[in-house]
């Protein structure tokens, strides 16, 4: 038995003991009018007494309670951030959201019933163990309904006056039709959603999991499975050559405790990558671009700029332009300074911001950054945020998603890209979704591919005043 399992068992046992020992504190504080400390001591005595007499029942109900917390009942699908003024719209239009709402309603109902049964059980087994004051009786003060009665009378009188108004009596039918028309227009506007910028993309995370990550073979495997893009990570060597590697240290894949920035390209080329019984080499960005250009399905690259080197942006731009591959690349970084610098140098490129390890909910300020798209983690995805991003004409790509059921939900939320380790499994799911929602995209799959007129299309479609009125921002706005 591993240490982890032992510690987990000890944690569960500790939770049972703490829960059992503190279960009666609120009742004791109210009924016996005692402080928290004394209630704690008395609660422990009561729990000990009950355990001695009815240990099986006591342990059983507490175990069931804790089990509930570790199952689906304790992890409801929807978050508070999923609910907003648009909740009704999502229930009407979004199958996934509608199912999630119904599922949560049922689970919450079961939880309420379970908690009531648990409360009744505690009342039953604690009978006679909690001292009630001799003069104690359940009572409550009557509620003064005077204010409520006056309010009802006032609004009832107002309604009666309006109903009997001569103008309303004369034009009652027209007023009814007008109200119905206004409500219909409001409902129509409420249910509308702006089109997404482009069809959802399948993006291979570090290429593809079936080859060593961030290698030429991984990118070609993603191309074989018809991913739209392969996401790769770029860092600079000591001699300022952009190479494709995720970790700043080479220990995990090369078994060498050295940082990338401290080795030259020649030194790095002497190392072997090793993972899952496969061996490969660390490629340069230029090598990966050439492989992508010659690939069967002409895969694009999502280039993530990593590290802190201020020279990285210029080096990447030079290589991409040297190989005439800007029309098949999109760019992002966790470092917003890189995003700003890249936007200044190449405002026509498709440049986004990658959010990692965000504490709490994503807020609206992130939607107002100078970016063309946003990449977020699975745990940060919710209907409300993605809906707001869509209003800002800002595609959202979600990483790293590998579960088909979850991916279907992300697509229905409005995600414009799925960054996945398994493009072969996800391609079919995304294609089915696209087939079911044809016509919901402004620029289909050409945007932002300059070779197909994607970015130019965006400017041709809107005149300057229209772009200003629609609030559409492209590149360096």
* Span 214-261, pLDDT tens digits: 999 999 999 999 999 999 999 999 999 999 999 999 999 999 999 999
Q: How many residues does the chain have?
A: 477
Contact in structure between 222 and 299 (CB atoms under 8 Å): yes
pLDDT at 149: 63
pLDDT at 452: 43
pLDDT at 222: 98
Burial class from Cβ neighbours inside 10 Å (0-12, 13-18, 19+) for residue 385 reads buried
Nearest to 303 by CA among 277, 276, 321, 279: 321
Nearest to 49 by CA among 131, 124, 129, 132: 129
Q: Confidence band (pLDDT; 50, 70, 90) for 461? A: very low
Q: Confidence band (pLDDT; 50, 70, 90) for 446? A: very low
pLDDT at 435: 87
Averaged over 325-340, what is the pLDDT?
A: 95
Tell whether the model's pLDDT for residue 450 goes beyond 50: no
- Quote the CA–CA distance of 328 and 203 in Å, as a whole number: 13
Nearest to 281 by CA among 344, 212, 351: 212
Q: For tokens 């790769």, name the residue.
A: 232
pLDDT at 146: 56
Q: Which residues contact 267 (CB under 8 A, 6 or more apart)?
A: 238
pLDDT at 455: 41
Out of 35-49, 81-95, 236-250, 371-385, the most confident range is 236-250
pLDDT at 421: 98
Higher pLDDT, 452 or 284: 284
61: which 2 tokens? 């109900």
pLDDT at 458: 41
Nearest to 242 by CA among 338, 171, 157: 338
- Quote the CA–CA distance of 178 and 170 in Å, as a whole number: 14
């Amino acid at each position: 038995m591993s240490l982890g399992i032992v510690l987990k068992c000890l944690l569960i046992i500790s939770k049972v003991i703490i829960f059992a020992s503190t279960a009666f504190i609120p009742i004791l504080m109210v009924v016996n009018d005692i402080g928290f400390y004394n209630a704690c001591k008395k609660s422990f005595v009561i729990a000990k007494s009950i355990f001695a007499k009815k240990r099986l029942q006591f342990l059983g109900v507490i175990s069931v309670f804790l089990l509930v917390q570790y199952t689906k009942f304790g992890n409801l699908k929807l978050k508070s951030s999923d609910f907003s003024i648009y909740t009704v719209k999502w229930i009407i239009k979004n199958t996934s959201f509608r199912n999630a709402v119904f599922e949560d309603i049922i689970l919450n109902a079961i939880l309420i019933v379970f908690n009531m049964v648990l409360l009744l059980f505690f009342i039953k087994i604690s009978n006679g163990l909690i001292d009630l004051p001799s003069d104690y009786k359940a009572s409550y003060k009557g509620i003064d309904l005077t204010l409520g009665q006056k309010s009802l009378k006032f609004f009832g009188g107002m309604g009666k006056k309006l109903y009997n108004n001569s103008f309303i009596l004369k034009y009652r039918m027209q007023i009814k039709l007008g109200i119905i028309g206004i409500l219909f227009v409001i409902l129509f506007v409420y249910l509308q959603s702006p089109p997404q910028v482009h069809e959802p993309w399948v993006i291979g995370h570090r290429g593809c999991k079936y080859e060593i990550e961030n290698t030429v073979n991984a990118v070609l495997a993603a191309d074989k499975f018809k991913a739209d893009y392969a996401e790769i990570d770029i860092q600079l060597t000591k001699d300022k050559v952009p190479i494709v590697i995720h970790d700043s240290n080479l220990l995990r894949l090369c078994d060498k405790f050295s940082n990338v920035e401290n080795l030259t390209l020649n030194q790095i080329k002497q190392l072997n990558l090793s993972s899952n019984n496969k061996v490969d080499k660390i490629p340069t960005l230029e090598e990966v671009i050439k492989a992508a250009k010659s690939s069967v399905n002409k895969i694009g690259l999502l280039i993530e700029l990593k590290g802190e080197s201020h020279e990285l942006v210029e080096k990447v731009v030079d290589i991409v332009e040297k190989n005439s591959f800007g029309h098949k690349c999109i760019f992002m970084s966790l470092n917003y300074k890189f995003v700003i610098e890249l936007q200044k140098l190449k405002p026509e490129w498709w440049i986004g911001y990658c959010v990692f390890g965000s504490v709490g909910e994503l807020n609206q300020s992130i939607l107002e950054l100078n970016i063309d798209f946003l990449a977020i983690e699975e745990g940060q995805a919710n209907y409300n945020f993605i809906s707001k991003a869509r209003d800002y004409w800002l595609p959202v790509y979600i990483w790293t998603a590998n579960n088909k059921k979850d991916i279907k939900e992300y697509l229905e939320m409005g995600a414009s890209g799925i960054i996945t380790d398994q493009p072969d499994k996800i391609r079919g799911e995304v294609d089915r979704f696209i087939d079911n929602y044809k016509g919901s995209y402004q620029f289909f799959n050409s945007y932002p591919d300059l070779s197909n007129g994607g970015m130019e299309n965006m400017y041709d479609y809107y005149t300057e005043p229209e772009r200003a009125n629609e609030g559409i921002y492209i590149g360096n706005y």
